[in-house]
Amino acid sequence: MTTAMPTTQPSATPTDEPTAKPSATPTNQPSAVSTAVPGTTLSTVPTAKPSAMSTTEPSTVPTAEPSTVPTTEPATPAVTDRPVNQAVDHYDRFLAEHYTWMLGGDLDALAAAQRDLLAQWGVVPGSQDGSLAVDLGCGPGHTSLALAGLGYDSVLAVDLSGPLLSELAAHARDMPAVRPVRADVRTALPELVRPGSAGAVVCLGDTLTHLPTRGDVAALFADVTAALAPGGTAVFAYRDLTVPLTGTDRFLPVRATEDRIMTCFLEYPDDYDDYTVVVHDLIHSRDGAGAGADWRLNTHSYRKLRLSHAWVLAQLRTAGLRVRHEESGPGAMRTVVLERACEQPR
Ligand SMILES: C[S@@+](CC[C@H](N)C(=O)[O-])C[C@H]1O[C@@H](n2cnc3c(N)ncnc32)[C@H](O)[C@@H]1O
């Protein structure tokens, strides 16, 4: 996979997509999620320690559970349905049970490795940062566990997947700093975090590309700037899938063990614009590893944004964030470590 930019690079300012943020009006939550996940009401969400910038902020937080999950969606959205529903559906119905396995299988080992990476990137609680960290699109929460291990007093772990939040809650039983919250990352920061109070905000593992539009991504960057405390750090990691893969390069092996094999297939259908790709996940599994065990194939598809690195950097700058460090990794993964720019962006 290459990270070269296509000549049809989207402009820095998306004009062809809705930029309006979703309504924060709480909707009826599936009871299994709200009861299974501790910390889903805002009364349990840590409000950051008072910081220099938080003194003028409201001293209370709302008590309603935030969510933009619609209540009228069909049971199994197709790939043409609204992307945020596709993402939620994809994880809740298909990928959540395999997600930790997909990453290697051992959440605590993943957390330990993530802790080292975060420390390398300078994501450590500092005396002036405040000690709130936010993990946007936390998944099973290895990064949230790592942030707690690094010493953040409160780690707000935000995701829309009930099963993944439950997995994190089980692992974080002895880590009261970790607060799993079922909320949409597009509204979580303004609703749950006082402006200027977060020592760290991270959004890792390609969560950004799950958002419905590039306008949502740009708006999220602005929310992160507003949430960061002076001296705080933001980290985004996402795949730049702007260059379409062709032929058999579109089949991406993810992981294979004796009883499970995961493959990804990327499709660029004609009815989608240049900014999206349809991801087909294929998981073969069998009960037991013996020669007689039959393989089953389960598949599920969803849509992702194709974000060019140049576009992301331009939006980060516009949002008032300054790059401190950048990395490229396998699978066109890009990691950007940032701080709030002192001056307002021009
Ligand atoms: C690719 S996973 C990344 C998980 C984790 N950050 C990691 O590094 O492995 C994307 C996660 O984002 C969540 N997600 C997608 N869209 C979301 C949204 N609008 N609000 C909250 N979570 C969302 C999914 O449920 C999923 O857990």
Q: Could you tell me if 93 and 232 lie in one domain?
A: yes
Q: Which residues sit opposite 255 in a β-bridge?
A: 262
Tokens describing residue 200: 């760290």
Q: Which residue has the higher pLDDT, 323 or 273?
A: 323
For the chain, strand residue ranges (E) read 132-136, 154-159, 178-182, 198-203, 228-239, 251-257, 260-267, 276-285, 296-305, 321-329, 333-340
* Position 57 pLDDT exceeds 50: no
Q: Is 177 in contact with 153 (CB distance < 8 Å)?
A: yes
Residue 31 lies in a domain: no
Q: Could you tell me if 336 and 284 lie in one domain?
A: no
Q: Could you tell me if 101 and 83 lie in one domain?
A: yes
Q: Could you tell me if 191 and 203 lie in one domain?
A: yes
Residue 67 lies in a domain: no
| Cα–Cα dist 319/328, whole Å | 22
Q: Is 294 in contact with 88 (CB distance < 8 Å)?
A: no
Q: Is 168 in contact with 156 (CB distance < 8 Å)?
A: no
Q: Is 249 in contact with 263 (CB distance < 8 Å)?
A: no
Q: Which atom of ligand 1 is nearest to the CA of 164?
A: 27
CB of 167 within 6 A of ligand 1: the answer is no
- The overall average pLDDT reported for the chain is 79
Q: What one-character DSSP code corresponds to residue 94?
A: I
Q: Could you tell me if 40 and 174 lie in one domain?
A: yes
Q: Which atom of ligand 1 is nearest to the CA of 141?
A: 5
Question: Closest residue (by CA) to atom 14 of ligand 1?
Answer: 137
| Cα–Cα dist 275/273, whole Å | 5
| Cα–Cα dist 201/284, whole Å | 35
* Position 35 pLDDT exceeds 70: no
Task: Name the nearest CA neighbour of 158 among 129, 123, 132, 125.
Answer: 132
CB of 321 within 6 A of ligand 1: the answer is no
Quick one: the chain helix, strand, coil %, rounded to 5?
30, 25, 45
* Position 240 pLDDT exceeds 50: yes
Task: Name the nearest CA neighbour of 149 among 181, 178, 179, 182.
Answer: 178
Q: Could you tell me if 115 and 187 lie in one domain?
A: yes
pLDDT in tens, 298-317: 999 999 999 999 999 999 99
| Cα–Cα dist 202/143, whole Å | 9
Q: Could you tell me if 298 and 324 lie in one domain?
A: no
Question: Closest residue (by CA) to atom 19 of ligand 1?
Answer: 184
Q: Is 273 in contact with 262 (CB distance < 8 Å)?
A: no
pLDDT in tens, 195-204: 999 999 999 9
Kindly report the CATH number assigned to the domain that includes residue 254. 2.20.25
Q: What is the pLDDT of residue 83?
A: 60
Q: Could you tell me if 193 and 273 lie in one domain?
A: no
Q: What is the pLDDT of residue 85?
A: 75
State the average pLDDT over residues 225-254: 95
| Cα–Cα dist 229/194, whole Å | 10
Number of compact structural domains in the chain: 2
CA of 97 to the centre of ligand 1 (A): 14
Residue 53 lies in a domain: no
State the average pLDDT over residues 33-42: 32
CA of 291 to the centre of ligand 1 (A): 36
CA of 207 to the centre of ligand 1 (A): 5
Q: Could you tell me if 260 and 129 lie in one domain?
A: no
Bridging pattern class, strands 178-182 and 251-257? unpaired
Q: Is 276 in contact with 306 (CB distance < 8 Å)?
A: yes
Q: What is the pLDDT of residue 269?
A: 82
Tokens describing residue 265: 């297939």
Q: Is 138 in contact with 161 (CB distance < 8 Å)?
A: no
Q: Could you tell me if 200 and 278 lie in one domain?
A: no
State the average pLDDT over residues 109-131: 89
Task: Name the nearest CA neighbour of 143 among 170, 178, 191.
Answer: 178
Q: Could you tell me if 146 and 89 lie in one domain?
A: yes
CB of 139 within 6 A of ligand 1: the answer is yes
Residue 22 lies in a domain: no
| Cα–Cα dist 276/337, whole Å | 25
Q: Which residue has the higher pLDDT, 290 or 171?
A: 171
Amino acid at 142: H
Residue 58 lies in a domain: no
Portion of the chain with pLDDT greater than 90, in percent? 66
CA of 40 to the centre of ligand 1 (A): 16
Residue 2 lies in a domain: no
Q: Is 129 in contact with 154 (CB distance < 8 Å)?
A: no
* Position 252 pLDDT exceeds 90: yes
* Position 156 pLDDT exceeds 50: yes
Residue 314 lies in a domain: yes
Portion of the chain with pLDDT greater than 70, in percent? 72
Q: Could you tell me if 299 and 333 lie in one domain?
A: no
Residue 260 lies in a domain: yes
Residues 6+ apart with CB under 8 A from 49: 130, 131, 132, 153, 197
- Number of separate helices (H) and strands (E) present in the chain: 9, 11
Tokens describing residue 100: 């930790």
Domain extent, residue 215, equals 36-44+78-241+307-340
CA of 209 to the centre of ligand 1 (A): 9
Kindly report the CATH number assigned to the domain that includes residue 206. 3.40.50.150
